[in-house]
Amino acid sequence: MKKKYVFLGIFTVVILLITTLFYVINKGFYLSPFDTNPYTNIEVANEESCLQCHQNTTGFSNYHNPELIGCASCHLGNTSSLDKNEAHKGMILIPGNLADAKETCGKCHIEELNKINSSLMTTNSGIIAIDKFIFGETNHPNHQFHIKDIKNSASEKHIRDLCANCHLGAEKTEYGEITQESRGGGCNACHLNYSEEAKNDLKNYLASNKTVLPKFHPSTTVFVNNTHCFGCHSRSSRISTNYEGLQETLLDEKDIADNDLYTVLQDKRVYKHMDQDVHHTKGLLCIDCHSSHEVMGNGKLYTHEEDAVALQCVDCHFKEKPNTIPYDSLDSESLLVFLHRDYKHSNKEILIAKKDGHPLVNTYVDSIGHAFLIGKGDGKLHNLKPQSKVCSRDKAHENVSCSACHSSWTSRCIGCHNQYDENEPKAFDLLDKKFVKGQWKEYVAEFSSSKPAIGVREHKGKRVFEPAIPGMILTIDKGSFSGKTGNDISFHRLYAPNSPHTTTKQVRDCKSCHSNSVTLGYGQGSLKYEINNRKGEWVFTPEYALNSYDNLPEDAWIPFLKPVDKTVIQSTRTDFRPFNLEEQKRMLLVGACLQCHKDDSKVMKQTLEFGLQPILKKLSAKCALPDK
């Protein structure tokens, strides 16, 4: 009998061990930042010949120290030879470019490399798809492409000449830190950091004809700053410059001498000072919101950037209760970031993105339900405030995006003309990095700013109102590419969905949406409500002259209070459009009410709570609504 119980006891223990092992394998190990773990338990690298010459070199991050992983893990080469030429054979001086990342960074970070290879920052698929669509080379803007595969059609040459700098596959070929003018560089684009000592040593090394070896090595870390993002994201929709409160102009540096209302970037573009994003004023970095899961991607191919972005304002500024997970449910990538940043909140719940569930490791919720964010740049603790009562209880604006109300301004670009110059003597192919013959040139009429227009996103059965900008009001002289200048000019009036990144705590007032010509898509101008014989009528006087191609004001999206021609393409997305006529009338109906009733009046508050129709049944005899 005793043997039977002993056998059952042993059997039970074995089953428990197997069950525990199965759970660990499938669930992932628990990583404590205070204990030894798989990322710190690294066997010290065998002695390499590299260290015979490169002695006493410092500056490495803790997890890329050659005492742990050697030099060849990143730089390759022949580590068994003491002869300089032999030792340097096969060496990669600047590791991390995507062309060789599989042999360098990807040996340890294979999953991250697989993800980044599929990301839009690497493929540029959305940019290519829209450009080819606008040139008439495809039938819609949702095809998948990869920048490395494009050839030399009219649109592809246009991309090579004007756009192909900004992709991660562009190689970093020169030593030095990441700056405003940096483009590409693979892993280096985000993770390369130079200390002041490393910069000084590099300067001395180059000045000595590469004979005085540096003692300070640049580091490769998770400490990404905004300059890493700036080079590429200060172009196109200009998210980086918007975030910092800078609006591009067509001025030259000499035009604004010593004028503190402007800033000149390293590439000599002149920017006007505007309101900064409230998150920027608090010292938050881009990566405080956009974590590695978003930036590096998740391995899936996305068509456009908004498809790849999972983070939403409500993830931090939640309505009632935040979405969280415990520390021991973090994925391995998040655990690694948590470890590298030496966070201590492993005993607290961590916020996750509602859209895809990825964790925001620099956040936590305390025991009484208060949420906090730890700034990745300065380590400061920020209290994450839930939505205001106005936002959380507002029934009339449930399908309006946060940025539609909370964006203070956005960039505008109009009057762009594209023409090919087959004789351009300084033509440069940005993709192949070589001088060529012939180049597309862009001539811009105006850069400006305003409150964003509002468009309608119809996606997966939902209708959401989002900010929009005049992204492509332009002409393309396609005939110039084939030597027939002026014979085939196409005109496009396309607005693009946009997240301005000019967030402000204060929302725009009601009139700035419901009786604002830019918001409604009519362009800049005077929009007035005139009342005659108890009937009201909206009158719009545009600021810009009418464009000869479609007889609309130069900066407009749609005609004023007229049916929108659905056969004319009006957006860079197939699921995003301007207001139709009925939506315009509904917006302006509220605008008419606002001519007498203030935003915070009782009647306007009631429209937020109960909707517009019940209030219209209680009209005063004094009310003068639009006649049509």
pLDDT at 628: 64
Strand partners, 509: none
Write the CA distances from 77 to 65, 218, 271, 332, 358, integer angstroms: 17, 19, 45, 30, 38
626 phi and psi angles, rounded to 5 deg: -60, 140
Contact (CB, 8 A) for 53 and 84: yes
d(CA 480, CA 440): 9
User: Where residue 39 falls among pLDDT bands split at 50, 70, 90?
Assistant: very low
Tell me what the mean pLDDT of segment 467-488 comes to. 94
Residue 320 is predicted with a pLDDT of: 83
46-49 contacts, C-beta under 8 A, 24 or more apart: 46/70, 48/72, 48/79, 49/78, 49/79, 49/80, 49/81, 49/82, 49/87
Q: Residue 42 — very low, low, confident or very high, per pLDDT cuts 50/70/90?
A: very low
> 338 and 411: one domain?
no
What is the Cα–Cα distance from 200 to 580, expressed in whole angstroms?
A: 60
Shared-domain flag, residues 403 and 369: no
* Predicted local distance difference test score (pLDDT) of residue 36: 43
118-122, 476-480, 623-627, range with the lowest pLDDT: 623-627
User: What is the predicted pLDDT for the residue at 45?
Assistant: 52
Is 566 domain-assigned?
yes
Q: What is the mean pLDDT of residues 570-593?
A: 95
HSE-CB for 134 with a 13 A CA cutoff = 29
Separation between Cα atoms, residue 23 and residue 226, nearest integer Å:
39
| 368 and 476 part of one domain | no
Q: What is the average pLDDT across 7-13?
A: 47
Asked whether residue 578 is domain-assigned, the answer is: yes
Of the candidates 339, 364, 385, which is a domain's last residue? 385
The 10s digit of each residue's pLDDT in 376-388 is: 999 999 999 988 8
Q: Which residues contact residue 613 at a Cβ distance below 8 angstroms, ignoring those fewer than 6 apart?
A: none
**Does residue 525 sit in the same domain as residue 474?**
yes
pLDDT at 11: 46
| For residues 109-116, average pLDDT | 93
**Spatial distance between the Cα atoms of 325 and 226, rounded to a whole number of angstroms:** 28
397 shares a domain with 371: no
Specify whether the CB–CB gap between 417 and 446 falls below 8 A: no
Instruction: Examine residue 588 and state whether it is found in any structural domain, yes or no.
Output: yes
Question: Average pLDDT for residues 80-91, to the nearest whole number?
Answer: 93
Give the range of the structural domain holding residue 378, as residue numbers without chain letter.
321-385
CA distance 550 to 137: 22
Shared domain for 427 and 380, answered yes or no, is: no
Q: In this structure, are 378 and 421 located in the same domain?
A: no
Residue 54 domain flag: no
| pLDDT of 16 strictly over 80 | no
pLDDT digits (tens, 9 = 90+) for 251-264: 999 999 889 999 99
- 308 located within any domain: no
pLDDT for 14:
44
Tell me, what's the pLDDT at 30?
38
Tokens 């009209």 sit at which residue? 619
Structure-token match 């915070």, residue found: 600
Angle at alpha carbon of residue 61, lines to 57 and 62, rounded to 5°:
105
Residue 1 pLDDT > 90, yes or no?
no
The pLDDT score that the predictor gives to residue 341 is: 94
Is 259 in contact with 76 (CB distance < 8 Å)? no
Co-location of 449 and 359 in the same domain: no
Question: Residues 512-540: pLDDT tens digits?
Answer: 999 999 999 999 999 999 998 888 999 99
Q: Is the pLDDT of residue 319 over 80?
A: yes
Angle value at C-alpha 54, between 48 and 57, nearest 5 degrees:
110
- Count other C-beta atoms under 10 Å from residue 356's C-beta: 12
Q: Confidence band (pLDDT; 50, 70, 90) for 602? A: confident
| Residue 215 counted as domain residue | no
Same domain, 415 and 368: no
- Are 458 and 603 members of one domain? yes
Written as one letter, the residue type at 539 is V
pLDDT of residue 392: 67
Q: How far apart are CA 559 and CA 522, in angstroms?
A: 6
Confidence band of 622 (pLDDT split at 50, 70, 90): confident
- Residues 177-197: tens digit of each pLDDT: 999 999 999 999 999 999 999
The 3-state secondary structure of 140-191, one letter per residue: CCCCCCCHHHCCCCHHHHHHHHHCCCCCCCCCCCCCCCCCCCCCCCCCHHHH
Q: Output the six-digit token pair for 626.
A: 């639009």
Q: Which residue in 314, 310, 316, 313 sits closest to 291, CA to CA?
A: 310
Average pLDDT, the chain: 90
Q: Is 226 exposed, middle or buried (0-12, 13-18, 19+ CB in 10 A)?
A: middle
pLDDT at 37 over 70: no
- Does the pLDDT value for residue 21 go beyond 90? no
Q: Give 40's DSSP letter.
A: T
Under 8 Å between Cβ of 220 and 61:
yes
61 pLDDT more than 60: yes
Q: What percent of the chain has pLDDT over 90?
A: 78
Within 13 Å, how many C-alpha atoms sit on residue 117's CB side?
A: 15
With respect to residue 436, please indicate whether it lies within any of the assigned structural domains: yes
Q: How many angstroms separate the first and last alpha carbons of the chain?
A: 95
Cα–Cα distance for residue pair 202/210, rounded to 1 Å: 9
Position 29 pLDDT exceeds 80:
no
In this structure, are residues 240 and 246 in contact, taking their beta carbons and an 8 Å threshold? no
Tell me: pLDDT of 17 over 90: no
Contact 376, 190 (CB under 8 A): no
Produce one character per residue of 156-187: b if its CB has 16 or more CB atoms within 10 Å, e if not. bbbbbbbbbbbbbbbbbeebbbbeeebbbbbb
Split into its structural domains, the chain has a count of 4
Taking every pair of Cα atoms in the chain, the longest distance, rounded to a whole number of angstroms, is: 105
Which has the minimum average pLDDT: 34-48, 78-92, 365-379, 494-508? 34-48
Given a cut of 90, is residue 618 above it in pLDDT?
Answer: no
Is residue 12 in a domain?
A: yes
Rounded CA separation 580/89 (Å): 65
User: What is the 3-class SS of 391-443, one letter each residue?
Assistant: HHHCCCCCCECHHHHHECCEEEEECEEEEEECCCCCCEECCCCEECCCEEEEE
Q: Report the distance separating Cα 471 and Cα 45, nearest Å.
A: 53
**pLDDT tier for residue 234 given thresholds of 50, 70 and 90:** very high
How would you classify the pairing of strands 416-421 and 462-477? parallel
Cα-flanking dihedrals φ and ψ of residue 270, to 5°? -105, 130
Residue position matching structure tokens 């710190």: 40
- Indicate if 20 and 146 belong to the same structural domain: no
**One domain for residues 422 and 483:** yes
What's the confidence (pLDDT) of residue 547?
A: 96
Rounded Cα–Cα distance for residues 386 and 258 (Å): 42
Burial profile 428-443: b = 16 or more Cβ within 10 angstroms, e = fewer: eebbeeeeeeebbeee
Tell me: pLDDT of 40 over 80: no
* CA separation for the pair 165, 581 (Å, rounded): 41
134 against 47, higher pLDDT: 134
pLDDT bracket for residue 393 (50, 70, 90): low
User: Where among 385, 404, 439 does a domain terminate?
Assistant: 385
Higher-confidence residue of 532 and 160: namely: 160
Q: What is the pLDDT of residues 481-505, one digit of tens each?
A: 999 999 999 999 999 999 999 999 9
